Structure 1
């Protein structure tokens, strides 16, 4: 099972492609991996900000790409779509890559 530092390292190596192909301008990790509470079945929660509007299909494609490079299920949450009641908590917890 990967830890937060390994996940950050893998994502960092792909930042140019994440920008060029998926218009990602900011990316961070939050959730169980940040709190070191992950289990074998945990997904990686990824917070992203896009340079321009993207479709649901593009978000799913990004999730699949990140899942492939990380070897674990990924849940992508666009920064602008965070539920209001969770926004402060997630933004404080998120670790930038």
Structure 2
């Protein structure tokens, strides 16, 4: 059973909410299911409070166990998310986080989708 979090409740910045509130929860859930995503989170300026009109959206994804995701698939996912969020997306697989920044990113992440 997936959990979809209400974006407008997660973020209080007007810019952020207006930029993300039009995202279809059904489309986000369908994307995550189709792409074998266990958890999708936001991090970076979109959650820190310094999100600007020209900012991209940093998206952290964790894939289902056994999912084999190559570079081309990641590139397609990034384009799909850019279309879904209607702004540039920087897609980062959780497994690919560099140890030097991992803790910092994980402490600021806001989960939008997760499977139980």
TM-score interval, smaller chain: 0.7 to 0.9
Deviations 1:49-76 (A, max 9, x none): 0111201111111111111011100011
Shift in Å, 1:12: 3.3
Q: How does 1:12-91 map to 2 (within 5 A)?
A: 12-51=25-64, 52-91=67-106
Contiguous gaps of at least 5 residues in structure 1: none
Rounded Cα–Cα distance in structure 1 between residues aligned with 2:106 and 2:23: 21
Segments of 4+ moved more than 4 angstroms: none
Rounded Cα–Cα distance in structure 2 between residues aligned with 1:2 and 1:70: 13
- Structure 2 contact 82–88 (Cα < 8 Å) conserved: yes
SS of 2:46's equivalent in the other structure is coil
Distance 1:84 1:20, change over 3 A: same
SS of 2:45's equivalent in the other structure is coil
Rounded Cα–Cα distance in structure 1 between residues aligned with 2:25 and 2:103: 25
Structure of higher CA gyration radius: 2
Relative contact order, higher structure (CA 8 A, sep 6+)? 2
Equivalenced residue count is: 97
**Aligned alpha-carbon RMSD (Å):** 2.1
Distance 1:94 1:9, change over 3 A: farther
Q: Normalized against structure 1, the TM-score is what? A: 0.87
